[in-house]
Chains A and B, each alone.
Chain A
């Protein structure tokens, strides 16, 4: 029994990580209906940026991540401004294929620079620290921080979206592109800011990805799939839905792993397919699309 309860708790905590993966994807889709196939590789890229900063400057990963945040914001802004804005339009193919090409470029670029070796963000004693929850169950401090960060990120994103002029511009461009342009919103710049913001979230996700497990340049696509599944399970257009989707995915994986360790990933994918068949619009749908 304890084993199952443990699986549930670990699943919820793992869900925090998946929600962080997914929040950036959800943000981009919400603002500009862009599905970024390079999202997973951008998470890995951010992890390598944090790793490089931490190694060069001898910093703690948390501090290195703080430094990586402005860097990744600029990367996102430039990526959208120079490349991705050109692909947006009525046709679905250009954004999909351009981000797919980008995914291959990032993956192989990282392979060239950092080789295929597994890396990890070393954070000292906090990595193994845990809090006893009683009944022989303990929750790791890093997983707990992951979930708390996911909640914080979602609260902040909601505040930005619904309480600031920038968020108003996000919602306006999302609702009606032409009218937003007529009202004097520079759509290209708004999109670039949105991508920059998404990569800030990606950097937070990368920090916890790198502290919780090993990573190497090839793991991006799998992270994209988890992020995507969390978004769809939760329902398009709602950040809290994305958190719920991440937790459902995390639960499915840890419970699957509890039955047979080899089934962890498969169980997550199957949970996604079941949700898709039973509730194609996700558990908490909001956007009509």
Chain B
């Protein structure tokens, strides 16, 4: 140990950019939480939609980008979550705020039998299998006459206006009941969105996350090193089902009207979500944020074009998949080696002031 090396090495996940981003993220969350105090109702409503889509995208990203489970049937859990909210509030008389986590729990429980079926299919066939399961859910719920059958039903005003906390919000912000409902939904959406990020981040930094990465890179090698592939995949599938179910419950609390065709729509709850993840950058935590920004802008300015807009979305998705499969964020990472949510261990060489951060293979 006589000769000290000229440079020192450190292995860590977080770099300066990520630490700054963590501080910034906390600040953004705090600002968003306080936003209803000064923002108008339209902005709040738009942001609810943005948070819902971002949370759904983060869930799909975890499934497809991390666990390699490419599902085109996540609308099953959005719809189930929505219908569970209606059932629990209308039939069981529960408060919606209580019904949302409960809907998530039931979705997680239902994910086990669903997994029993779809996990028998591999790869691309898994994708279509999940779609069949979603169709089965849609057709079964269309048979439930108490929830309006094929035409659907609405939440009675007593349920939507009687949510715990609405009176408090009304006096706090001096607003009417509908605006207070929006603010409450906004906070729940913000919380769910933040929770989806926390879930993905926590999983990625845990042993499970390492196992997931190993499975994604080589299933055979992972299995030979003792990774229990079935259990890791199952846990991710169940966790995203719970999260997706809660988001679905919130979406339909806000909409206050549900029908089987809308609740289990493959376009609204899966195609858009896939588009967001692919455009933003699949497999990264940051990708869905970028994708949601792009999608929200396009939705805002182009959705009126109807079919032509959807053709544009499909074409963009295909072009990105062919020519920039890592998406916009993937491009940023490749170019600048920059990350906001550090999940990989990297080698930092201390002597140089910046850059040169090489990832440990």
Q: How far is the CB of B125 from chain A (nearest CB, A)?
A: 6
Residue from B117, B124, B129, B136 within 8 A of A96 (CB atoms): B124
Which B19-78 residues sit within 8 Å CB-CB of chain A? 64, 68, 70, 72
Whether A109 lies near B311 (C-beta < 8 A) is yes
Judge if B93 is at the interface, Cβ distance under 8 Å: no
Residue from A98, A104, A109 within 8 A of B322 (CB atoms): A98
Q: Which residue of B lies closest to A260 (CB)?
A: B143
**Residue with the highest number of chain A CB atoms closer than 10 Å, among B129, B306, B315, B321:** B321
Judge if A92 is at the interface, Cβ distance under 8 Å: yes
**Residue with the highest number of chain B CB atoms closer than 10 Å, among A37, A97, A265, A276:** A97
Whether B322 lies near A108 (C-beta < 8 A) is no
Known: A98-B322, A224-B128. A104 touches B140 (CB 8 A): no
Known: A96-B70, A266-B139, A269-B135. A35 touches B274 (CB 8 A): no
Whether B129 lies near A276 (C-beta < 8 A) is yes
Our count of residue pairs bridging A and B at CB distance below 8 angstroms stands at 119
Alpha-carbon distance between A206 and B113 when the two chains are bound, in angstroms: 35
Q: Which residues of A contact B136 (CB under 8 A)?
A: 266, 269-270, 273
Whether B317 lies near A273 (C-beta < 8 A) is no
A59-67, A161-169, A225-233, A239-247 - interface stretch: A225-233
Alpha-carbon distance between A112 and B314 when the two chains are bound, in angstroms: 15
Alpha-carbon distance between A158 and B124 when the two chains are bound, in angstroms: 25
Q: Which residues of B contact A71 (CB under 8 A)?
A: none
Judge if B84 is at the interface, Cβ distance under 8 Å: no
Alpha-carbon distance between A34 and B120 when the two chains are bound, in angstroms: 18
Alpha-carbon distance between A35 and B125 when the two chains are bound, in angstroms: 7
Whether B311 lies near A228 (C-beta < 8 A) is no
Known: A112-B307, A266-B136. A87 touches B321 (CB 8 A): yes
Q: How far is the CB of B145 from chain A (nearest CB, A)?
A: 11
Q: Which residues of B contact A289 (CB under 8 A)?
A: 122
Q: Which residue of A lies closest to B323 (CB)?
A: A86
Q: Which residues of A contact B124 (CB under 8 A)?
A: 34-35, 92, 95-96
Alpha-carbon distance between A179 and B65 when the two chains are bound, in angstroms: 32
Whether B132 lies near A104 (C-beta < 8 A) is no
Whether B318 lies near A221 (C-beta < 8 A) is no
Whether B311 lies near A104 (C-beta < 8 A) is yes
Judge if A3 is at the interface, Cβ distance under 8 Å: no
Q: Which residues of B contact A93 (CB under 8 A)?
A: 64, 70, 282, 321, 325
Whether B322 lies near A105 (C-beta < 8 A) is no
20 residue pairs A–B, Cβ–Cβ below 8 Å: A34-B124, A35-B124, A35-B127, A37-B127, A37-B128, A87-B322, A96-B72, A97-B278, A100-B72, A101-B318, A101-B321, A104-B313, A104-B314, A108-B308, A112-B308, A225-B128, A228-B128, A229-B132, A276-B121, A277-B116
Alpha-carbon distance between A110 and B278 when the two chains are bound, in angstroms: 25
Alpha-carbon distance between A91 and B310 when the two chains are bound, in angstroms: 26
Q: Which residue of A lies closest to B143 (CB)?
A: A262
Interface of B is mostly: helix
Q: How far is the CB of B296 from chain A (nearest CB, A)?
A: 19
Q: Which residue of B lies closest to A95 (CB)?
A: B124
Whether A108 lies near B117 (C-beta < 8 A) is no
Whether A101 lies near B128 (C-beta < 8 A) is no
Q: Which residue of B lies closest to A272 (CB)?
A: B132
Q: Which residues of A contact B314 (CB under 8 A)?
A: 101-105, 108
Map CB proximity to A onto B299-340 as digits: 1 under 8 Å, 0 otherwise. Answer: 000000011101101110110011001000000000000000
Judge if A259 is at the interface, Cβ distance under 8 Å: no
Residue from A35, A86, A276 within 8 A of B117 (CB atoms): A276
Which B219-273 residues sit within 8 Å CB-CB of chain A? 266-267, 271
**Residue with the highest number of chain B CB atoms closer than 10 Å, among A100, A225, A280:** A100
Judge if A155 is at the interface, Cβ distance under 8 Å: no
Q: Which residue of A lies closest to B127 (CB)?
A: A96
Q: How far is the CB of B265 from chain A (nearest CB, A)?
A: 11
Known: A83-B318, A104-B271. A232 touches B121 (CB 8 A): yes
Judge if B165 is at the interface, Cβ distance under 8 Å: no
Known: A35-B127, A94-B321, A95-B124. A269 touches B310 (CB 8 A): no
Q: Which residues of A contact B121 (CB under 8 A)?
A: 232, 276, 280
Which A118-174 residues sit within 8 Å CB-CB of chain B? none
Judge if A5 is at the interface, Cβ distance under 8 Å: no
Q: Which residues of A contact B117 (CB under 8 A)?
A: 273, 276-277
Q: Which residues of B contact A177 (CB under 8 A)?
A: none
Known: A35-B125, A96-B127, A224-B128. A104 touches B321 (CB 8 A): no
Q: Which residue of B lies closest to A236 (CB)?
A: B125
Judge if B156 is at the interface, Cβ distance under 8 Å: no
Judge if A219 is at the interface, Cβ distance under 8 Å: no
Alpha-carbon distance between A289 and B133 when the two chains are bound, in angstroms: 22
Judge if B123 is at the interface, Cβ distance under 8 Å: yes
Known: A94-B321, A105-B311. A277 touches B120 (CB 8 A): yes
Q: Which residues of A contact B123 (CB under 8 A)?
A: 35, 92
Which A9-25 residues sit within 8 Å CB-CB of chain B? none
